[in-house]
Amino acid sequence: MRRQSLGWTRRSEDGAGTLMALWVAVMILGAGAVVVIWGVISVGNHRVATAADLVALSAAQALQVGAGDPCLTAQRIAAAQRVDLRRCQVEGETVAVEVGVIVRLGVLGSPVVTSLARAGPSG
């Protein structure tokens, strides 16, 4: 007695493990890329925030001791920290600054990360 075909054939599952392993590898590489990009931007953000604080404190100190234009001091400190001074504003005894740094992400571009800081006497 012969079996008759019902119109469908059983597919072989040979190679399914290879495809699954490839899919998992692509997902791991993608997640790794996202983590690296997030880390680079996070480090850039911390760097620019720290530099902004330092620039503002230096400019405020220059203003307090009468060491000339506080914005020139801010520019000098920003250059030493390798950040761009985007804005410097003196308001009474307080100095407000905005600094930025370019974060290089290769083919994804080079966004500018900025941070604001303000320094002056308390009270």
Residues in the chain, overall count:
123
pTM: predicted TM-score of the whole model, two decimal places = 0.74
Residue boundaries of the structural domains of the chain: 25-119
For residues 1 and 21, give the distance between their C-alpha atoms in angstroms, rounded to a whole number. 43
Give the model's pLDDT for residue 123.
67
Phi then psi dihedrals of residue 41, to 5 deg = -65, -40
Say whether 8 sits in a helix, a strand or coil.
coil
Cβ neighbour number for residue 25 with a 10 Å cutoff: 10
Judge whether residue 78 has pLDDT over 60. Answer: yes
Q: Which residue has the higher pLDDT, 10 or 21?
A: 21
Q: For residue range 24-61, what is the model confidence (pLDDT) as tens digits? A: 999 999 999 999 999 999 999 999 999 999 999 999 99
Judge whether residue 6 has pLDDT over 70. Answer: no
